[in-house]
Structure 1
Amino acid sequence: MRVKITLACTDCKQRNYHTMKNKKNDPERLEMKKYCKFCRTHTVHKETK
């Protein structure tokens, strides 16, 4: 049930991180606060297709 997802910065729209998630436990899109090396700050990253 675990699938690979890509996280993109909400400010600069760069795809910075890859991670795994369980579709059964988290059916909606994931949001995490991560460091963006392009913005040089901590921003919210959302799951992309």
Structure 2
Amino acid sequence: MPQIKGKRVVVTLECTEAKAAGLPPSRYMTTKNKSKQPSRIEQKKYNKFMRKHTLHREVK
């Protein structure tokens, strides 16, 4: 994983709907500014296994 200096950290977003359906989860890597957004990120991203846009949440 790349190291980024400052308050930005690398986070992983994982699909919530695929996990419930028993399919392999879709994952995305992105960065966030921890001081401006201390809570977990939720974004709609494309899931290639389900072939539609689904909700992805930040995982540890």
Report the TM-score, using the length of structure 2 for normalisation: 0.76
The residue number in structure 1 matching 2:38 is 27
* Over 3 Å off, 4+ runs: none
The answer to whether the Cα contact below 8 Å between 1:6 and 1:15 also exists between their aligned partners in 2 is: no
Q: Secondary structure at the match of 1:24?
A: coil
Q: How many residues align?
A: 49
Which of the pair is proportionally richer in strand? 1
| CA deviation string 1:1-49 (max 9, x = no partner) | 0000000001113142000000001000000000001111000100001
Larger helix share, 1 or 2? 2
Identity %: 53
> What are the ranges of 5 or more consecutive residues in structure 2 without an aligned counterpart?
1-6, 20-24
Q: Which runs of 5+ in 1 are unaligned?
A: none
TM-score (norm 1): 0.92
**Structure of greater Rg:** 2
